Structure 1
Amino acid sequence: MARGHISELRGILQQARNANDSGLGGTAVWIGQSVDALERTTHWMLDAVETRPADALAGATPYLRLFALATGGAYLAKKALAAMAELRAGSTDPHHGLRVASARFFAAHLATAAAGLEAAITEGAEAIGTAFGDAA
């Protein structure tokens, strides 16, 4: 399931890159970085669940946030691509421009948190124990 989902996200990002539209700005790059982090942490989590369950549990909440950022960002990019196609086809719906702007904003202001979430995920249970005075 994880590989299929990540592959789907990468397909959307490739479409965004191929669109080469300045309205998207760095959307594909920033969302791409979050998808890369999601892929790395998914592998880490799958291993941790089997070998270090306390580490997997410690990373679960930031993992879900990263999953949401990568997935949400890619789907917003997909919606923006559809809106741009409508605009090129002559649509005058003002919401299309907002869809493009929303994807770009999300990518630049939210998805860029992926690196920090990746660190929080892979730091493991020891960091939580240390933070609360437990030398784990």
Structure 2
Amino acid sequence: MPYSDFASMPCTLSRPAALLGERWTLLLLRQIFLGTRRFEDFQTSMEISRSVLTDRLNVLRQEDVLKRVPYQEDGRTRYEYRLTTKGKELYPVLMALRTWGEKWMAPDEEESFHLHHRDCGGGVRAKVECTECGVELTARDVQVTARS
């Protein structure tokens, strides 16, 4: 199935997969959440080609995940990329992938950085919980029903 067909499937998992499934997109979002905002800084920190970076940034802008914001440098108007509300709400998605990756794909000594709660210093992880009672859930705790 062509990659673009995922975006048109009537599924709330396939549409985000179509947007986020390209490997550079997730790494680009990681950099944005780490504070990178300028094209040159993305290119340097990620070692990504200009054409691929331009394409990924444009897709994220078209999907309203990022917006371009002008700033002045050396008397010229330049642009940096900022997360929209839609983009900021991807944070738990990236944290869920990172949490899984820390457990299953990388020993602690391979971590290039650690995330800590600003207020208490505790670690950061993603969790799935019930919207009513707040209990943490696993796949076994969730029942799937068809919409009517």
**TM-score under structure 1 length normalisation:** 0.24
TM-score scaled by length of structure 2: 0.22
Q: Which has the higher contact order (CA 8 A, sep 6+)?
A: 1
**Larger helix proportion, structure 1 or 2?**
1
Q: Which protein is richer in strand relative to its size?
A: 2
